Amino acid sequence: MDITALLLSRLQFALTVSFHIIFPSFTIGLAAWLTVLESLHLATGRPVYRVLFEFWVQIFAVAFGFGVVSGIVMAFEIGTNWSEFSRMSGPIQGVLLSYETFTAFALEAGFLGVLLFGRQKVAPWFYLFSASMVAVGTTLSAFWIMINNSWMQVPVGYVVENGMFAPDDWTKIIFNSVVWSRFPHMLLASYLTGAFCVAATGAWYRLRKVYHAESRIMLRMGLGLAAVLMPIQLLFGHLTGGYVNTYQPSKMAAIEGRWNDEKPASEVLLAWPDVQTRRNLFAITLPPPFGSLIDADSLTAGETGLNSIAPDDWPPVLIPFFTFRIMVGCGILMLALAWIGTYLSRDGSLARNRPMLWLTFLSFPLPFVAILTGWVTAEVGRQPWAVYGVLRTADAMTPFLTRREATISLIVYCATYTFIFAFGIFYIYRLLRAGPLGPDVLTPPASIPSPPLHVDAKLDTAHVLHVPAEE
Amino acid sequence: MVLFWATLLAVSILLYVLLDGFDLGIGMLFGMATGEPRKHGMMSAVAPVWDGNETWLVVAGVILWGAFPVVYSILMSAFYLPVLLMVAGLILRGVSFELRYKATRMRWIWNASFAGGSLVASFMQGLMVGALVEGLPVSGVRYAGGEFGCLSPFAVLCGAGLCVGYALLGACWLVRKSEYEVRDHAYRIIPYLATALLLFLIVVFAYALAEHLSVMTRWLDRPSLFVFPVAGTLAAIALAASVHGREDALPFPMVAVIFVAAFGTLAISFWPYMIPFSITIDQAAAPRTSLAFMFWGEGLFVFPLMLLYTVVSLTVFRGKTTASSAADHY
């Protein structure tokens, strides 16, 4: 394959957006979990919830900061590398992004400061309110971004005017069924990410035999939440597949490794799709009508194969085919872990089950892998279109962008991200390793005056030290 | 509607320049500061507010994309490398705040990236303004100037000039927010920075005359525009007086007035062009349905809230950051 400015730009966008999504998907879930912890603390008065809150809010601060700085890149990159796209879709997508910025900024600017530095300055109910507003803010952010991306997947409610996509029906753009299957899918993915990170941290402490009370709550809440959410997530995943089946036949055919039209269709579980010969090698296939059943909830529905789509309109087949299967695999593993873990923690035997603790500890990459592969399936599967069926990716690029410029920017972003990511992960690891009583934890993350916080955190943790392990 | 969004865009850019301007300025001065206490004092003066300040850049960016997509598309693609370097600089600057205090042995890395990131971001912003003022080659709705079309002596001069201007804003913020050594040092450098900024403005003026930039001719046609330079001059005099009299609270607003004057001069002398002299505000505007949708939600309700938050957060963290309170946090 030729190294063109187009290829480099696509690589760059894929890299920067993948780097970015790691942090929001973590913080959206974490913000909700912090709100729950604070509610529990207010409701029960148990100091352990407060300790956990003070601990996770530190991690939240670092991850949130990374999400913000890596998100700013996106807002500029769309214009620098995809100027044609940005000009044409600005009237819709620019407007949606401005809503994201405005609403998120309004909520976060107002309440994040309170959350991080203001515990001593406001009433407890207002502190809880601030935590929930930060959670609402991160959720709203995700909402606007999902509308934005869904419009690229299934463009609706627009007319073409002066070479631009002019909106003519905002309700269609915002309240269409595609948004309302994809937004919950992403939101649940974020909650699951938070849940698994919390559970894995709990398992880690349990394995190291530290922080008994805290790790018990982290394990129970993390796995318990995942056990409830995972089946719902599978349902929304299925609904998301429904829109692909209806609106994006080329993506569906690539995901399913389906070459010929079939009615009813079979289902390829695993294979190596060979694009040259247009067939699947080493295929493990379920007979019809399983394909129709899975893709279209029907025993008889016909499914389109790649052979009846012009090869110019094919996505790269291998990438969505495999990333989709990795995502589903991660989902099934998470479901199994969450259910088994929750079952074991009913009578407290999870705490003694070292293999299960190890598995839980090692599970924290699963939700991230699932989110990244899911997004790759959605985005690579949409190719060769930037706006499905309307604007090709090749036509979306800045027409005069040179290979040299694209190379320089790719290198600069790679270098910058590697540098800050390495340190960011290291510091988050150090915070997590030290745990709720670690030396770093008793220091607030940035510079705002709140000395009483330390005193209070110490009091609470001191209190916890006297709470006997409850198992 | 178009006018409303043009105004909001101008307000957002101006707020960004004033607010993140002092953050970036302090970042650059930080690079020259010696000794941990002074470095620490400088960082404490901006740490609580920089994040909100930088957000105004994103706000300006998304208003530009949503309300004036043609201009967004031309500017971003024309300034490919400057935007890239500015963003990289802002990333390094931004993460330095969090990571500097988490680091122990590696603190020098974050010191360097705080100062270096601030310098690069400021320079690139000035460079872009300079290139825009000089006139970007545009054909139709696309930029047509090539890879380094924005790189000219004038643009480089503007890059350097904005660095000086930001550093001056930063020094005045330090005077306002700090005590003892940090403040005294800031007082010592303000005259140099102010003189340098003045020289820069004179050179820009002379260069503009020499090159017969189209801006100048428009400018002489509208004598009422001289209100802005006059206001700027008065502010410069007040600045000199307040520095001489050691009035901690005054220098920052005075430099802010100088910036507003310069900004106003720019904005009004180009009116109604967004990209001089090829694309006007009306030509760049998104369809009515877009602008109206933005107006009835975020324009009417959220934007005033954001202004309110900015005022509140600056009020909450008003007053001096004392050495003792700073020592408590870390």
pLDDT in tens, A239-273: 888 888 888 889 988 888 888 888 888 888 888 88
pLDDT in tens, A416-466: 888 888 888 888 888 888 888 764 444 444 444 333 333 333 334 433 333
B143 close contact with A: CB closer than 8 A:
yes
Please give the share of chain B, as a percent, with pLDDT higher than 90. Answer: 16
Lowest mean pLDDT among A181-195, A378-392, B98-112: B98-112
Lowest mean pLDDT among B14-28, B49-63, B202-216: B202-216
Which DSSP symbol is given to B140?
T
| Tokens describing residue B73 | 């598309």
Q: Do A168 and B90 count as a contact with CB atoms less than 8 A apart?
A: no
Which DSSP symbol is given to B250?
S
Closest residue to B88, CB basis, from A66, A87, A412: A412
What ipTM was predicted for this assembly? 0.87
Catalogue the long-range contacts made by A235-243 (C-beta closer than 8 Å, 24 or more residues apart).
A236/A181, A236/A184, A236/A185, A236/A188, A237/A185, A237/A328, A237/A331, A239/A181, A239/A185, A240/A181, A240/A182, A240/A185, A241/A294, A241/A295, A242/A181, A242/A296, A242/A297, A243/A153, A243/A154, A243/A177, A243/A178, A243/A181, A243/A182
Closest residue to A97, CB basis, from B44, B66, B83: B66
| Tokens describing residue B296 | 């009835």
Contacts of B141 in chain A (CB under 8 A): 87, 163
B297 close contact with A: CB closer than 8 A:
yes
Closest residue to A86, CB basis, from B72, B143, B287: B72
Q: List, as ranges, residues 398-457 from A with C-beta within 8 Å of B.
A: 398-402, 404-405, 408-409, 412-413, 416, 420, 423-424, 427, 430, 440, 443-451
Instruction: Looking at the complex, report in whole angstroms how far the Cα of residue A17 sits from the nearest Cα belonging to chain B.
Output: 15
| Tokens describing residue A278 | 């247009």
Task: Tell me: cis bond preceding A47? Omega within 30 of 0 counts.
Answer: no
SS3 letters across chain A: CCCCHHHHHHHHHHHHHHHHHHHHHHHHHHHHHHHHHHHHHHHHCCHHHHHHHHHHHHHHHHHHHHHHHHHHHHHHHHHHHCHHHHHHHHHHHHHHHHHHHHHHHHHHHHHHHHHHHCCCCCCHHHHHHHHHHHHHHHHHHHHHHHHHHHHHHCCCCEEEECCEEEECCHHHHHCCHHHHHHHHHHHHHHHHHHHHHHHHHHHHHHHCCCCHHHHHHHHHHHHHHHHHHHHHHHHHHHHHHHHHHHHCHHHHHHHHCCCCCECCCCEEEEEEEECCCCEEEEEEEECCCHHHHHHHCCCCCCECCHHHCCHHHCCCCHHHHHHHHHHHHHHHHHHHHHHHHHHHHCCCHHHHCHHHHHHHHHCCHHHHHHHHHHHHHHHHHHCCEEECCCEEHHHHCCCCCCHHHHHHHHHHHHHHHHHHHHHHHHHHHHHHHHCCCCCCCCCCCCCCCCHHHHHHHHHHHHHHHHCCCCC
Distance CA A50, CA A42 (A): 9
pLDDT in tens, B53-84: 888 888 899 999 999 999 999 999 889 999 99
B280 φ/ψ angles, rounded to the nearest 5 degrees: -90, 170
Among B1, B56, B98, B295, most A C-beta atoms within 10 A, so best to mutate, is B98
Contacts of B54 in chain A (CB under 8 A): 72
Q: List, as ranges, residues 158-187 from B with C-beta within 8 Å of A.
A: none
Instruction: Looking at the complex, report in whole angstroms how far the Cα of residue B30 sits from the nearest Cα belonging to chain A.
Output: 17
Q: Do B95 and A444 count as a contact with CB atoms less than 8 A apart?
A: no
Within 10 angstroms of residue A169's Cβ, the number of other Cβ atoms is: 14
The structure's pTM equals: 0.87
Helix (H, G, I), strand (E, B) or coil at B142: strand
Mean pLDDT calculated for residue range A226-249 = 90
What pLDDT does B321 receive?
Answer: 66
B205-to-A249, B105, B133, B214 alpha-carbon distances in Å: 61, 47, 12, 13
Between chain A and chain B, the number of residue pairs with CB atoms below 8 A apart is 241
A157 close contact with B: CB closer than 8 A:
no
Contacts of B59 in chain A (CB under 8 A): 101-102, 105
**Ranked by mean pLDDT, which of A285-294, B155-164, B297-306 comes out on top?**
B155-164
Strands B279-280 vs B273-275: parallel, antiparallel or unpaired: antiparallel
B303 close contact with A: CB closer than 8 A:
yes
Does residue A211 contact residue A435 with C-beta atoms inside 8 Å? yes
Closest residue to A102, CB basis, from B72, B99, B306: B306
A72 close contact with B: CB closer than 8 A:
yes
Confidence of residue B213 (pLDDT cuts 50, 70, 90): low
Q: Do B87 and A76 count as a contact with CB atoms less than 8 A apart?
A: yes
Helix (H, G, I), strand (E, B) or coil at B275: strand
Residue of B nearest to A413 (CA): B88
Q: Do A420 and B91 count as a contact with CB atoms less than 8 A apart?
A: yes
Q: Do A99 and B55 count as a contact with CB atoms less than 8 A apart?
A: no
Distance CA B243, CA B249 (A): 10
Distance CA A30, CA A192 (A): 10
Closest residue to B80, CB basis, from A166, A405, A440: A405
Whether residue B155 is predicted with pLDDT greater than 50 in this model: the reply is yes
B67-to-A205, A293, B3, B71, B288 alpha-carbon distances in Å: 51, 45, 11, 9, 9
